[in-house]
Chains A and B, each alone.
Chain A
Amino acid sequence: MNELAGGVVEIGAWQLLLSTGFIVVVGVLSLRLALGLERDLAVATVRTYLQLIALGLVLRWVFGVDSAWLVIAILVLMMAAAAQTIIARAPDAPPGIFGPGLVTMLLTGFTVTFAVTGLVIRVEPWYEARYVIPIAGMVLGNSMNGIALALERTFADLDARAGEVLALTALGATPWEAAADSVRVAVRAGLIPTINAMAAAGVVFIPGMMTGQVLAGADPLEAAYYQIVVMLMVSAATAIGSVLAVLLSFRRRFDAEGIYLEKGYRSHG
Chain B
Amino acid sequence: MTLLSAQGITFRSAEGVLLLDGVGIELAAGEVADVTGPSGSGKTTLLRALARLLPAATGRLVLAGEDSSAIPAQAWRARVALLPQTPAIRPGTVRENLLLPWRLKVHAAEGSASAPDDRALLSALDSVGLAADIGLDRDAARLSVGQAARVALLRVMLTAPEVLLLDEPDAALDEESATLVATATAEAAARGAAVLRVRHRGSDGRAGRRLRLAGGTLAEVSG
* Residues of chain A having any CB pair with chain B under 8 Å: 163-164, 166-174, 177, 255, 257-259, 261, 264-269
Contacts and interface: CB of A to CB of B under 8 A. Distances in A.
A172 B14 contact: no
B14 A171 contact: no
B154 interface: no
Interface residues of B, number: 32
Contacts of A168: 88, 100, 104
B168 to A, nearest CB: 14
Given A174-B104, A258-B73, 14 more contacts: A163-B86, A163-B88, A164-B90, A170-B77, A172-B77, A172-B107, A173-B104, A177-B103, A258-B74, A259-B54, A261-B55, A268-B14, A268-B55, A269-B55
B55 A171 contact: no
Lowest 10 CB-CB distances: which A-B pairs, in order? A167-B88, A172-B106, A172-B78, A268-B56, A164-B88, A268-B55, A170-B82, A257-B73, A172-B77, A172-B74
Given A172-B74, A258-B73, A266-B14, A166 B56 contact: no
Contacts, number: 78
B194 to A, nearest CB: 16
A170 B81 contact: yes
Interface in B15-63: 51-56
A257 B52 contact: yes
30 contacts: A163-B88, A166-B53, A167-B84, A167-B87, A168-B88, A168-B100, A170-B53, A170-B81, A170-B82, A170-B84, A171-B100, A171-B104, A171-B155, A171-B159, A172-B101, A172-B104, A172-B105, A173-B74, A174-B74, A174-B104, A257-B73, A259-B54, A259-B55, A261-B55, A264-B14, A265-B14, A265-B55, A266-B14, A268-B56, A269-B55
A173 B105 CA distance: 7
B73 A171 contact: no
A173 B81 CA distance: 12
Contacts of A163: 84, 86, 88
A7 B88 CA distance: 64
Nearest to B105: A174
B18 to A, nearest CB: 14
A173 B77 CA distance: 9
Given A166-B84, A268-B55, A171 B105 contact: no
B123 interface: no
A255 B84 CA distance: 19
B145 interface: no
B128 interface: no
Contacts of A268: 14, 55-56
A173 B159 CA distance: 13
